Structures are given as structure tokens and as C-alpha cells.
Structure 1
Amino acid sequence: MAMNLPSSRGKGRRAPMADINVTPLVDVMLVLLIIFMVTAPLLTTGVPVNLPDSRAKALDQEQEPVQVALDAGGKIFVNDNEVSASILPDVLAEIAAAGNAENPRQVFLRADRALDYGEVMRVMGELNRAGLNRVALVTVGSEAR
């Protein structure tokens, strides 16, 4: 009498499937890529400034920084609002008073490369006098050009 027992040689057994279907993963990643490519240009707003090149790395930020920009004509903008040079110290003093002593406000200074160095230093001096000492100069990375 013969019995039909499963043999250890693997006859009649199916091998386990070890393939992963990556098509849905690729589809989702391509959709996300398209979404980011469409929305990224919409996130950059502000005053058009021709920034100088730099190889410095991006900064980590805890809170929304104050944006100070100087365009090619020498106009000063604080958070996309034009400010005259005469009231700039008052505006910066209000911003400095709104921050706390433990975590002072970060300031991003963007200046057009065609500006005179003295104009940029005048604004930096006003930032220093107001107590806003965490100033980062915004540049364009060298690989962006």
C-alpha cells in the first residue's frame, strides 16, 4: 500500500513568491513629484532681487524669519512692504520688541548684487542697532545658475 505523503524533495510544491510589485509605488512617487514641481514656484514670493552666488549651506530655522530686501534701486522692503529709510529704525525696533530674549528673531537680508556695499552695510547697522543680530545674507547657490 502506498501513501501519498508530501516529499521533502519539493515535488509538487510551489516556490514562495519573492517579487514586490513596485508599479503602485512608482505611480504615487511620480504624482508627488509633479505636485511638488507645480507648487514650488508658487512658494517663492517677494521682491525681485538679483542675488549673488555662494556655496554656503541652507540654515535651519525654528520660526518664520523677518525678510529684509534691498532692490537694485535702493528701496528697502521689510516682509514685502516698502519702508522708507527714515522709518526703518522704528520698524526694526518694533520687530525686535516682538521677539523674546531666549530666541531672538532671525533676519534674512537679501540685497541686489548691483547695490553699493555701503547701502547694505547701512541697513545691517540699523538691524544691529535695533538688536536684531541674527542676520543671514541670502544668496543664490552656485549650482542654480
Structure 2
Amino acid sequence: MAGSIFHRKRRKLKSEINVVPYIDVMLVLLIIFMVTAPLLTLSVDVKLPSSTAKAVETKNDPIIVVAYPDGRLGLQLPGDKAPRTVDAAQLEAMLAPIKAEQGNELRVLLAGDADAPYQRVIDATEALKKAKVTNVVLWTKQ
């Protein structure tokens, strides 16, 4: 045995971190968040105030302004059966004498066509603002 030499193989220490368990944990967490995120409610409960007020009686009938999808405006005065087509400048010119006569008693109902984009309704409110109309109500179908 004198001639046999024992060669011991030295094991080198690994200086690497095994990241496989970390990846597994992260994938499980990702799946959990992906499943639970759509189930969360993203709304806020709001209790709206209520009122027992009655409708205000006025002596003047309201004026109806309609916003159409193509950008036209319709104006229906109290004696008219159907709205007539006007543009913003004509609307301002027609409402100015009525506003001067009725003052703050002037009531305007603004109706947006069901197919009209919201921008058309905003354009109609700007036209009413230029005509110095302050009492505007959005009219909806009940």
C-alpha cells in the first residue's frame, strides 16, 4: 500500500444562489394577484341627499334646445310644435331678446339626441352661455 496514493478530490463551494424557488414563489403570487384583482370592487357607496321640494311654478313655458348628432341645434319656443334648426349664432340672436324680456325667469331645457356625442351637448351649453342664459336644465327621457 505504500505505492498507492490517495487522491482526495476537493469539492469546490458554489458561490451561486439558487433562484428557482424564488421564481416559483413569484409565479404563485402573480397567479394569486391575477385571480383576485378582477374580484375587487372599485366603486364607492354614496348616499345621495333626498328632498321633498316641489316643482317651482313659473308663469313662462320653457324653451327647448336640442343637440343633434351632426352638430345642428334645434330651438323650440313655447308656441312652436316642433324644434326649428338653428346654428349657435342664430340661437344666441333669438334668445337675446327673450332673455332681456324675461330676465332670470327664462328657463331652457337642453335635450341631447340619443345618438348625439356628448361633445354636441357641451357645444349647445356653450352656445347658451354665450346667450347669457343661466337657468339651463338637462332634459332626459323618463
Report the TM-score, using the length of structure 1 for normalisation: 0.49
Q: TM-score, normalised by structure 2?
A: 0.50
Greater RCO, 1 or 2 (C-alpha within 8 Å, sep 6+): 1
